[in-house]
Structure 1
């Protein structure tokens, strides 16, 4: 995982909690978790999400799109 800092704008591959087969790339901000001082969180969809090691978080849209396309838009070889 990259070293993110408070105020960084990032891109997250986010699965829709209501439809598990739906995922999108969303823009988020790295913030200090309001209930756990000293811990980082993602501010996404007007909510705080703890920043975890296994989150798909990227500093650039290109990096996020690359992995997204690899995972969700697999094209079989001819």
Structure 2
């Protein structure tokens, strides 16, 4: 899945929605709220902050601006 940001530019402080796979049960995914933050490990880059962990904000992550967008994509890709 790709970053859903053709016309969206994220900034630190934005709240977004991502698909998050349960690390203990690989076939279970949920929509989770995440914060866009300045990456403490790579100054000048943004990261997603989710479950007390920083994840790089790359084009390999499906990111949605609203829960509704994420739910529609979830139904399309997961169901």
Q: Which runs of 4+ in 1 moved over 3 A?
A: none
Using structure 2 for the length normalisation, give the TM-score: 0.86
Q: Secondary structure at the match of 1:67?
A: helix
- Choose between structure 1 and 2 for higher RCO, CA contacts under 8 A separated by at least 6 residues: 2
Using structure 1 for the length normalisation, give the TM-score: 0.87
Identify unmatched segments of 5+ residues in structure 1.
74-78
Identify unmatched segments of 5+ residues in structure 2.
none
2:58 to 36, 49, 52: 52
What is the CA-CA distance between 1:18 and the residue it aligns to?
2.3
Q: Is 1:61 equivalent to 2:67 in the alignment? A: yes
Measure the CA separation in 2 of the matches of 1:13 and 1:35.
23
Measure the CA separation in 1 of the matches of 2:41 and 2:16.
21
Q: Is 1:38 equivalent to 2:44 in the alignment? A: yes
